Structure 1
Amino acid sequence: MSQYGTLGVAVIGTGRMGADHVRRISEVTSGARVAAVVDIDPERAKRIAEGVDGCTPYTDPAAAMAADDVDAVLIASPGPAHEAALLAAFAHDLPVLCEKPLTPDAASALRVLEAEQRLGHRRVQVGFMRRYDPEYARLKALLDGGTLGRPLMLHNRHRNAATPPGFTNAMIINDSVVHEMDVTRWLLGQEITSVTVVRPRRSAGAPDGLDDPQLVLFETDGGAVVDVEVNLNCGFGYQVQAEAVCERGTARIGDGHAMVTSAAGRWGGTIAQGFVERFENAYDRQVQAWVDATRRGEVTGPSAWDGYAAAAVCEAGVRAQTEGRRIAVDLAGRPPLYR
C-alpha cells in the first residue's frame, strides 16, 4: 500500500463516471484514496486533481500506473480506450475495476482474456454495478435458495426519460440492454444462447433515426426465456424492474415504492431521473467491495469472462436488430481461470 496506509487508486478518465468515482473514493469509500487521475485533457485532469489531497494529474495512463503511490486502477474512460489501459495495468500486475464495457467488441475482449490468463491470476473486476444493488442481491439470493423452484422466465423493463443526442440503435443494445444481459447470466447462472429483437411502432418521443422502444428476447442454455422492454424515451423518468417467474412462484423488484404519500386527493411517489441516482448505492457498494477485496489480495465480482460474454451477446443483439431475425450467440469456451 501507499505511504498513506490506504489503497492508492489511479482513476483513468475524468468524465461523468470518472469524476463521480473520484468523489466516491474521496468521500464515501473507506480504505482507499485517489492517488492519480488521468485524462487526455490536461486541464480537466489538473482541475480534478486539485480538489483531492495528494492526487497527481496525468495524461498518460501508463505513466500513472508506474507511479510509486498507485496500487490499483479504476478505468472509466470511453470503451475504445479500455483494452490499452487494461494491458498496461497487466504489465504492472495491478488490480483493476473496469467500467463496462470491458472492451467494445468480443475480439478485443478475448485478447484481454488471453492476456489475463498469461498472468496466471485474475486482475479484473468489471463494473456491472447492478449485482451490488440490494434489490438485485435479494432476488439473486432467493433464486439461489430454490424455494420458488427453477426460474422459467425473466421479465425486465429498462426505461429512461430521454436519450442524449447521437444515441443510436446499436447503443440501445451496447449501452442499455447490456445490463440485462449481465444480470440474466448472473441471476440464472446460465449463458445466453440467442437474441431476437422485436420492434413495435416508434414512439413519438423517439428522436429521428432511433427505433425506440424495442423488445429484446434472450434464450439461455438452461431453457429459460427472458424478455427486456427497453424504452429509452418514455418521458417520465428512469425505471429498472425485473420479475422472475419460477415453478412455484414469482418475485419482482424495482417498483420503487420505498415511500408512497397520500395528500390532496392523490397518492404516489417519485421516479428517479437517471441511472446515477437510481444506482448510487450500488456504485458505492461495488467500489467498496473492490477496495476491500484488493486490500485482502483477492479479486471478486464480475470477471473479464463476464465482460467478454456480454460483448459476445451484444454482437448477437446488434445483428438481431439489423437483420430482423433470431441470432445465435457465438461464445468461446470458458477458460479454467474463470470457472
Structure 2
Amino acid sequence: MGVADVFLSILEKIGGKTVEVAERPISRIPSGRSIQDRLRVLKQMQIEVEKEKIKESEKEMAEIIEWRRQELQKPFSERLAEGMLKHFSGPIRTLSASFRGLDYDLYRANMKMSRDSYVALTIVVSVFLSLFAFAVGVLAYFPYTLSLLFGLLGFMFGFMYMRIYPKIVWKTRVAEVERELPYALRHMASLLSAGVGITEAMVSVATANYGVISEEFELMIRDMHTGASLEEALTKFEEKMGSESVSRTVKQMIRAIKFGGNLADILYKLAEDFAFDYRMKLVEYVQKINGISFVYMFLTIVMPTMFVVGILAGSIMARSLILPVESLALILLFAFPALSVLMVIMIKRGEPR
C-alpha cells in the first residue's frame, strides 16, 4: 500500500467520524430569542444532563448490586479460598502439586472446586484451628509452650482432616446412593413395565427427589446429551461410586441392554435384594448398639465421676490442688462432653444406610 492510499484511508476515517458526529442530535441554545427564552432552554438542558447522570449512576449501582448478588450466591468457603488464592497463588500452587489424587477425590465427591482453591481452603481451615487451639490453651492458663503445642496440633489436625475430607464426602454420597437405590430401581422398573424407554426412566429418576442418586442420574443424562452412549454413562457412574451395589446394578443393566431380557423384572429383583440386605444390616446394627450403650454410659457418667474423685484424692494427699480450677472446669465442661459427642457421631456413622 502506497503513501497516497494510506493518506486517503485516513481522510475517509476522519470524514466518516465527522458525518457520525454531525448526525447526532445536539441540543443547542436557540439564537435570535430573548434572554429569558435562552435561560429557560439552558435550564432545560441542565435538567436533561442531570437526568442522564442520574440514569448512568443508577445503571452503575444496579450493575454493582447484581455483581454482589452473584458473589454472595457462592459459598463462603469458596469465596474465602478465592481470596486466599488471589494473594498467595504461588506457594499454594506449589503445595497443591504435592497433593496426588486430589482432583479425582474432588470429582468423586462432586465438589465443584479446583485443586488450588481447595488447597487454599485447607490452609485457611488449618490456621483457624491452630489459633482456636492456642486460644483454648491460653484461656485454660496452660504454659505458653503447651499452648503453642496445642496450636501446632490444631494445625496438623485441620490439615489432615481437610486432606481426607473429599473422601469422607464421597463415602457419604455412596452411602446415600445405596440407601436410595432400591427406591430408584423400583421407580425405573415401574416405568419400564408401563412401556417407557430406559432413557426416559432415567430422566424421571433424575427429576425425582432421590437426593444424591438423582444428581448422579442427571449427570449421566448430561453425558449422554454431550455424545456419550448409555453404556459409557453407566460405566462412568459405576467407577465414580466404587460401590458393590452400584456395580452390580450397572452390570445387570448393561447385560440386559446388550443381550436382551426383561429389564423391569431384573430391576425389581435387585431392589428386593438390596432391601433385604439393608434389613439384615439393621439387625446387626441393633445388636452392636446394645453393647456400645454400656461404653457410652461409662464415658458420660462413670468416667467424669472417677476423674473428679481422683483429682480430689490427689489434692488431699498433696495438700494442694494438683490441677488448676480453670483447667478442671475446662475438662469437665468441654473435654468429656466432646468425648460424648464423638461417641454419638461414631454410633451414628455405623448406622446402616
Task: Give your verdict on TM over 0.5.
Answer: no
TM-score by length of 1: 0.20
- Higher RCO structure (Cα 8 Å, ≥6 apart): 1
Q: Which has the higher helix share?
A: 2
